[in-house]
Amino acid sequence: MAGTAQRTIHGSDGLFELVGEEVGVSEWFEGTQEAIDAFAGVTNDHYWVHTDPERAAQSPAGGTIAHGLLTLSLGPGFTWALLAFEDFSLMLNYGYGKVRFPAPLPVGSRVRMRSTLRDVRRLDGGSQATFVQTFEREGQDKPVCVAEQVLRFFD
């Protein structure tokens, strides 16, 4: 996920110019068991469907699956790989609107994120933008996560 951003947004005016556009599609990320286990360790969420391959193989999931929040947590890194933000004094993650996990992400699957700038509104000293992040699993039509990320930008 590291590397140079694919697109640069210059100030609040640059945000307004992109409303309604897909601003980029990330590279693929493989959800390995090691990444899932590391996430479980950091969050203390060791639920067996994520961390016990033998037990999970006997479940309807057919094997371990990534935590939904692991998938969501890929969003910032994907965003930095897609977009550079210039002519702002500060940018903050203000939070998320609706977040859904419509399908699982099985271990070994690859996931990427499509980002669309849904709307922007002016604030005193800056702007607030909502990006719709759609995380898609390679070879599957149904997304594994759809989230509305709200960012605040200060000019």
User: Considering the domain boundaries, does residue 129 fall inside one?
Assistant: yes
Task: Provide the mean pLDDT of the chain.
Answer: 96
- In which domain, by residue range, is 104 found? 7-31+65-154
User: Considering the domain boundaries, does residue 48 fall inside one?
Assistant: no
User: Considering the domain boundaries, does residue 41 fall inside one?
Assistant: no
User: Considering the domain boundaries, does residue 122 fall inside one?
Assistant: yes
Q: How many domains does the chain have?
A: 1
User: Considering the domain boundaries, does residue 138 fall inside one?
Assistant: yes
User: Considering the domain boundaries, does residue 37 fall inside one?
Assistant: no
What does the chain look like in DSSP terms, one character per residue?
Answer: --S--SEEEEHHHHHHHTTTSEEEEPPPEE--HHHHHHHHHHHT---HHHH-HHHHHTSTTSS-B--HHHHHHTHHHHHHHHEEEES-SEEEEEEEEEEE--S--BTT-EEEEEEEEEEEEEETTEEEEEEEEEEEETT-SS-SEEEEEEEEEE-
Output the domain CATH number for residue 99.
Answer: 3.10.129.10
Tell me: the pLDDT tens digits for 50-69?
A: 999 999 999 999 999 999 99
Tell me: the pLDDT tens digits for 73-111?
A: 999 999 999 999 999 999 999 999 999 999 999 999 999
Given a cut of 90, whether residue 4 has pLDDT beyond it is no
User: Considering the domain boundaries, does residue 51 fall inside one?
Assistant: no
User: Considering the domain boundaries, does residue 89 fall inside one?
Assistant: yes
